[in-house]
Amino acid sequence: MIGNVILVGAGPGDPGLLTRKGRWAIRQAQVVVYDRLVSPAILALIPAGARTIDVGKEASHHKVPQHEINEILLREAQAGYRVVRLKGGDPFLFGRGGEELELLKAHGIPFEVVPGVTSALSVPAYAGIPVTHRDFCSSLHIITGHAKAGAELKIDFGALCRTQGTLVFLMGVTALPMICEGLLKAGMDPAMPAAVVERGMTPRQRKLVSTLGELPQAARAARIESPAIIVVGKVCQLSDQFDWFDALPLKGRTVVVTRPKDRAGTLSKKLRALGAEVVEYPCIETVERAENPALDAAMEQLGHYRWLVFTSPAGPEIFMERLWKRGLDARALAGVKLAAIGPKTAGALGRCGLRADLVPEVYDSDHLAKALEAVEGPVLLCRASRGSQALPELFSARGIPFDDIPCYDTVYESPDAGAVLPLLEGETWVTFTSASTVRGFVQSLPGADLSHVLGLCIGEQTAREARTHGLTVRVAREATMESLVELIRETGAGE
Ligand code: SAH
């Protein structure tokens, strides 16, 4: 059976700017052939079973030549695979997408094209530059500034000047002096506003707004490098007024997120929305206990307990699933009161159709213990092995009967230390959402100097653990994800 090729525009990097159809295409792919400009966050969407071919890798400074890429696509499709050709931005805008289709067409391979958000429009937008504005221009021109080494640019500068439109140059960093000179010679005013935006839309975006006459010198002084976009036109003068991306509170900040892989999404997303560069570095994972005779025995006599206590969102999920597998359901909990350590855990109960009877005012084990001080037993504690001792100590001291049953284990992951080690030389912001993430983080970096780590901790217990490892800490006001994000935002704003 013959395969097919979908040419997909991956957009400029932010996964939020990948189209829904593009995402669908990636998810169904068996083979993904991708370029240098496709961001890691988008590559992360490729299904685990799919084969990836990196044709942007510059092995000894030679990228895979275009004719070879064309042949790879043909070969994989002929072998019957669903192939996705992922390209940065839009696949047809200076993306050689057309060339790749020619060979497929000649061999009768079915193909589709999913357009992408192009950097030509989106990078200026993130730099606060509307590419057209009725007061300033009535056209937009997108030009490649790429020239073969040593060759002249083949650009009709006179024609460009006459349009009086906004000019956007891609691949123009090397040729920037020639481009500006060409426009000046063709009669454009040296005072014409002009800008260059490097690594646009990324947390490391740098923008330079100047004039046509002075831009080459300014770009040289700032050591602007590729990828960058050059914009020439009066609209550039709006850049300061409409600056929004550079003004985000965490712009330029790198934040390490140590949460388990399957739970990191929300925190990462919130931090990215504030402009941060997020490094996902999962230090722990929650693993359900396959064999759990103690829990099974407790489930046989749930009616005997007065309280059932959960200390993380994993608890209700695992507990209810096991109950279901044993042929029981929520009715087995009739008469049993439910306590949750915080709103996320209460939310997990809610998803099982259960309401938490008790959530402490401050979301940690100490406060949960205090809130449970006056209850009558027996209490069933359903939580991680090696959990905090605050609850068992309290119940023992008060003579409240309880069973402390480990339902899941927190195992330490071995994330790729290479992703974090280079950051540790300067101040490094690391989020910790439990004491175990702190331990996992420290364990993953044996012998590393952690003196520049600023631990952004969800609660007091987490902070206590971080302090024992000599980390500087800041603690969220309430032990919630929202409060942690707020703490990071405030820290970014220097509060
Ligand atoms: N098809 C792509 C463009 C490929 S040409 C698109 O539609 O976006 C590559 C050029 O795109 C780079 O040389 C640079 O000029 C521009 N570019 C791509 N990503 C960029 C980014 N994040 N910041 C600035 N320029 C970028």
Per residue in 342-376, pLDDT (tens digit) is 898 999 999 999 999 999 988 878 888 888 888 88
Q: Report the range out of 32-36, 105-109, 340-344, 444-448 with the highest average pLDDT.
A: 105-109
Span between the terminal Cα atoms of the chain, in Å: 62
The answer to whether 435 touches 465, Cβ cutoff 8 Å, is: yes
Q: What is the C-alpha R_g of the chain?
A: 28
* Closest CA to ligand 1's atom 25: 228
- 50: amino acid identity, one letter: A
Closest ligand 1 atom to Cα of 91 = 1
Which among 131, 229, 246, 277 is the best mutation to test ligand 1's pocket, defined by most ligand atoms within 8 Å of the CB? 229
pLDDT in tens, 253-289: 899 999 877 666 789 889 988 999 888 898 988 888 8
Q: For residue 338, what is the enclosing H or E element?
A: strand 337-340
Closest ligand 1 atom to Cα of 118 = 7
Closest ligand 1 atom to Cα of 87 = 1
Q: Is the C-alpha dihedral spanning 12, 10, 102, 36 positive or negative?
A: positive
CA 358 – CA 140 distance, rounded (Å): 60
Give pTM, 2 decimals. 0.78
* Closest CA to ligand 1's atom 15: 170
CA 2 – CA 6 distance, rounded (Å): 14
pLDDT in tens, 423-443: 998 889 999 998 989 999 999
Closest ligand 1 atom to Cα of 170 = 15
- DSSP annotation of 426 reads S
Ligand 1 shell residues, CB under 6 Å: 12-13, 37, 87-90, 93-95, 118-120, 123, 170-171, 197, 199-202, 226-229
CA 352 – CA 362 distance, rounded (Å): 23
pLDDT in tens, 285-328: 888 888 999 999 999 999 999 999 999 888 999 999 999 999 99
Give the CA dihedral 113, 117, 118, 119, nearest 10 degrees. Answer: -150
Q: For residue 113, what is the enclosing H or E element?
A: strand 111-114
What's the rounded mean pLDDT across residues 188-212? 95
The answer to whether 327 touches 386, Cβ cutoff 8 Å, is: no
> Ligand 1 centroid to 214 CA: how many Å?
23
**Helices and strands in the chain: count of H runs, count of E runs:** 17, 20
CA 173 – CA 224 distance, rounded (Å): 7
What's the rounded mean pLDDT across residues 216-231? 96
What is the CB neighbour count within 10 angstroms for residue 208?
20
Q: What is the pLDDT of residue 462?
A: 93
> Ligand 1 centroid to 66 CA: how many Å?
18
The answer to whether 300 touches 328, Cβ cutoff 8 Å, is: no
CA 395 – CA 94 distance, rounded (Å): 68
pLDDT in tens, 121-145: 999 999 999 999 999 999 999 999 9
* Closest CA to ligand 1's atom 13: 171
> Ligand 1 centroid to 107 CA: how many Å?
30
- Kindly list the catalytic residues: 35, 57
The answer to whether 115 touches 92, Cβ cutoff 8 Å, is: yes
CA 90 – CA 150 distance, rounded (Å): 28
Q: What percent of the chain has pLDDT over 90?
A: 69
Q: Which residues of 390-414 are buried (b: 16+ CB within 10 A; e: fewer)?
A: bbbebbeeeebebbbbbbbebebbe
Distances from the Cα of 245 to the Cα of 122, 229, 240, 272, angstroms: 12, 16, 11, 11
Shortest CA distance to 454 belongs to which of 481, 440, 474?
Answer: 474
Shortest CA distance to 285 belongs to which of 142, 115, 409, 184?
Answer: 409
> Ligand 1 centroid to 229 CA: how many Å?
7
* Closest CA to ligand 1's atom 6: 89
Using DSSP's 3-state secondary structure scheme, residue 438 falls into helix
> Ligand 1 centroid to 284 CA: how many Å?
37
